[in-house]
Chains A and B, each alone.
Chain A
Amino acid sequence: MTALVAIGTYVPPDRVPIESLADEFELTPMQLRVFRRYHKLGSAAHAPSLSLTELLGLAVADLRLTVEQAARIRYVLYARTFPGVVPYPLNPLHEVCRSFGLQHASAFAVGHHACASGLLAVDLAGRLLASAPPDALALVLTGEKAFTGEARFVPETSMFGEGAAACLVAASGPRDRQLSYVASLRGEFDGELEEVAGEFQRIYHDALGAAVTSAVSSAGLSLSDIALILPHNVNVVAWQRVCKRIGYPLDRVLLDHVADYGHVFCADAFLNHRTAVARGLLQPGDHYVIAAAGAGRGATFSAMVFSH
């Protein structure tokens, strides 16, 4: 059963306030107040001096891989929100692998699940490791640069923050074992954001709630068994609505970083996991859900259940 072995993260110290986006996205003072008070979006992490390669590298460095661990890594999967993030043929993934002596690993990107691609990568890593030698490991990388308008701001919804996470995955292990994974692909939202936003917002909370309850059910559990939800940091009101629909207490959704980091692409899940462990919110044996959704010319709603 796929298990998380260790998580490394990097969040830069700089922040950009939501107000800094006002001119570029023609946000009115009223809209800015709604973002701060209603969606609880205040700022986003920002790393103006770091390249994508450096950002990912800092997350891998935070893992403090031993030589023995590095040698056991057979796969490196880079999960992305945006399919294209650097000019071709630049390849930050392989640059990071070279920097950390991981050339012996098969490294590739997986995606087209928008911000839910991180969960896809964990699931795929586990699948590959299931037929690898028992001591083999996989490394899942997440994190992107807010390099263009649509990678900085989702109208009426969220602002993206820069950061990265690196998650070491094993085929089995004593903790953070994956019990289920559900991905609901909604390719009908294959238009420009302004074209699909209305319908996407209409179904968003039901679809994300359905992914969560389906994953919990697939794990043979009920929502009352779930100690914590680790969400994507899209905004607070979205999770208020999801919780209301599925009947789950909002105070058990870890929303600590929404107002500060912003939505750190596919890295939210791992950043929030780190915080949950640091705050003592997960006890041995606790079941928890990692959930994410995203739209970017195609929408995906995903959830994964783990046992800590």
Chain B
Amino acid sequence: MFALGLRRAVSRRYPTPALLAADAGHAARLSTYLTDLLAPQGLTLAPDALTPVRGQSYGEMAVPLLPADPVDLLVLAYDVPDISPGRAVSTYLTHVCPGSPMSFAVSDQGRAAAFTALSLMQTYAATHPRAVLIAVEQADLPYDPGVPVTLPAAHAGIALHLAADAPPASVTVTPDSDAVLDSLDGLDAATVVLGGGLAGLADDVKADRVVLADPAQPMTGVWEALAALDLDTAGRIVVADYDPALRYLCVATFG
């Protein structure tokens, strides 16, 4: 049985505007795209919504997260759309990433998308032994969607560098989950990272160390916390989160 394991985790924040945001031609195209996107819902784009463009480009955010050495597989996970809603970002990353990896993107699953991406990547372990998961979230939505929405507080991105010769990782994404407490019982881990969706359970988790992720970063918070750990001393690590909107319980175990 082949499986990928975690070699390294890195995270970044992006305090400066995207270069693409300053491109007036792009802003005009984005305005058309968003106007047409909103119209069927009876929504409109405010006249000043894109002056300036405040959001980030996932292509730009991902480039500094790319590995220096060749990889065979790259998967991009995201939830909030970026300022290039028609761009095949993961395909672009294949072009600029060492190794010209096979790539694709996973979305439409809230914060569970990164965990699902890991599950999918495990299916490639036998043939694509060097892999990188990039999860990104940007904090600007230039329209009122007319429904409650939770946006990240900051633009953030993470990369998990995975390899088939590292201690194997395992991932579960449990849909329609009410049984959060039962599922987290008996976690066999030295270090547990809990996302904002599970922060209330911190006292119930039995582990040498429990780390609470930044709850203001729904997609990247847990992985940012993972990246802050010393992987050599953290022992067996469990990363867990719960998407309250789509009701996915997600658990990833490393080591």
Q: Is B94 an interface residue when CB atoms closer than 8 A count as contact?
A: yes
A91: which B residues are within 8 A, CB to CB?
A: 108, 246
**In the complex the two chains form, what is the Cα distance from A108 to B107 in whole Å?**
6
Judge whether A87 and B106 touch: CB under 8 Å: no
Known interface pairs A93-B108, A107-B108; A183-B102 also in contact (CB < 8 Å): yes
A150 within 8 A of B: yes
Q: Which of B25, B108, B143 contacts A87 (CB 8 A)?
A: B143
CB B31 to nearest CB in A, in angstroms, measures 11
Smallest Cβ-Cβ distance to A124: which chain B residue: B120
Stretch in contact with the other chain, from A201-209, A222-230, A294-302:
A294-302
B-contact bits for A121-135, CB 8 A (1 contact / 0 none): 000100110110000
CB distance A298 to B104 under 8 Å?
A: no
Query: Is there a chain B Cβ closer than 8 Å to A3's Cβ?
Result: no
Q: At the interface, yes or no: A23 with Cβ under 8 Å from chain B?
A: no
Q: Which one of A34-42, A185-193, A266-274 is at the B interface?
A: A185-193
Residues of B within 8 A of A240 (CB): none
Which of A91, A114, A298 has the most chain B CB atoms inside 10 A of its CB?
A298
Residue contact A112 to B86, C-beta cutoff 8 Å: no
Q: Does B233 contact A (CB under 8 A)?
A: no
Flag B72-92 by CB within 8 Å of A: 1 or 0 each.
000010011100111111111
Residue of B with least CB distance to A120: B104
Q: Do A190 and B40 form a contact, CB below 8 Å, given A127-B123, A185-B94? A: no
Q: Which residues of B contact A278 (CB under 8 A)?
A: none
List B residues 90-119 near A (Cβ within 8 Å).
90-96, 100, 102-109, 112-113, 116, 119
Query: Are B33 and A148 in contact, with the CB atoms below 8 A?
Result: yes
Residues of B close to A82: CB separation below 8 A:
85-86
What is the interface size of chain B, counting residues whose CB is below 8 A from a CB of the partner? 58
B173 at the interface (CB under 8 A from A): yes
Instruction: Specify which chain A residues have a CB less than 8 angstroms from the CB of B119 in the assembled complex.
Output: 128
Chain A residues with a Cβ under 8 A of chain B? 51, 78, 82-91, 93-94, 103-114, 117, 120, 124, 127-128, 130-131, 145, 147-150, 183, 185-188, 190, 192, 296-300
Interface residues of B (CB under 8 A from A): 25, 29, 32-33, 36-41, 43, 59, 76, 79-81, 84-96, 100, 102-109, 112-113, 116, 119-120, 123-124, 141, 143, 145-147, 149, 173, 175-176, 245-248
Not counting A87-B145, A87-B146, A147-B37, a sample of 19 additional A-B residue pairs whose C-beta atoms are within 8 angstroms of each other reads A82-B85, A86-B41, A91-B108, A93-B108, A106-B109, A106-B175, A108-B113, A110-B104, A111-B88, A124-B104, A127-B123, A150-B33, A183-B102, A185-B91, A296-B87, A298-B87, A298-B88, A298-B90, A299-B91
